[in-house]
Structure 1
Amino acid sequence: MTAEFMGPPWQADWTKEAEDNRNALPLQARSLVDAARAELVTAKDPYFRGIDKAADLPAGMSVEPVQSTRPGGAHIIYFDHGRGWLRYVFTPRTADPQIVIDECIWL
């Protein structure tokens, strides 16, 4: 049996703090957070690498690395035209690839 790289939908886990922050938001903001999370878990590459890869994101959403010198490190998906964001790390393992969301902010 060959181990194949799994594809979307990806497993997404929240740190306790990020989940608590999400749960404390008003319903409208939680809907925006859930839409951003849905974009992450269904993307072929949750880091949206390549030219115009983020063009497929809905209006008001964008993705960038936290540090430009670490393109494989933590990333941020902005939503609600930059009013909110999720910071996350994607681990593309052959077995059990996952996204870990460690920050959820909406202003």
Structure 2
Amino acid sequence: MEHFVKAAEILQTGEYQVLEQAYFNWHGAYAPEEDLNLLFARYMQFGVLPHWAEKFAINVISDFNSQIVVNPGFYSLSSFSPRVACAKKIPTFSIT
């Protein structure tokens, strides 16, 4: 649990967002909101985290302690919602 709080401090975000990113990092997709709320409530009430969340937090701390520049964007934490970001346009060309 200490690792999780420290990781949130390093990433300058909340523990809920760190849990959300840890889920994404482990499962490859974002958690349904109900599942994430249940995991977070369990963490807040009992201090219990899934192993993948603890591992994610330890990796963040390890990167920080190794003096790697810890950028929240590296951990997919940003202030932009996927709905706000612009889709990249695929360049097109023609041979005439």
Task: Mark yes or no: TM-score above 0.5.
Answer: no
Higher helix share: 2
Larger radius of gyration: 2
Q: TM-score, normalised by structure 2?
A: 0.27
Q: TM-score, normalised by structure 1?
A: 0.25
